[in-house]
Amino acid sequence: MVYLWIHLITWVVLLVVASLAIFVSDDKISKISMMVARLGYIFAIVSGAMLFSYAYQENAMQTIIKVVLGIGLIGLIEVAFAKKKRHELNVGFAFVVIVAIILVGLFGIHLAGGYPFVH
């Protein structure tokens, strides 16, 4: 299941580049990281759409929750990026964003039944 791997790798890349964009003080690195994160959204949305029907058959309610959490996570990351640009981002909100990325990713692994780590 190649789409699952793309989705998983995108999650890890998103965690790294969002962390860089949020925590690095260099504006150039931060801006590049934001652009890479936005490109990652596209990969996550496309690979997630390809995985949707399989996951929906296995567990419809959790799949819908994951979709909502994923869309909400993109919004939360964008709020953090906007706050960073306006120099209004505080450390507490930044950590909330990073923890949210981790939790949504772990929920996705749970939804996939632990695959590819268990199988």
Task: Encode pLDDT of 28-39 as tens digits.
Answer: 999 999 999 999
Q: Is the pLDDT confidence value at 116 over 90?
A: no
Q: Is the pLDDT confidence value at 117 over 90?
A: no
Q: How far apart are CA 63 and CA 55, in angstroms?
A: 6
pTM here is: 0.92
Determine the pLDDT at residue 119: 62
Copy the structure tokens of residue 62: 């959790």
pLDDT digits (tens, 9 = 90+) for 39-58: 999 999 999 999 999 999 99
Cα dihedral 6, 30, 80, 114 in deg (nearest 10): 20
Average pLDDT of the segment spanning 75-100: 97
Determine the pLDDT at residue 29: 96
- Where do we find the tokens 């949020």? 22
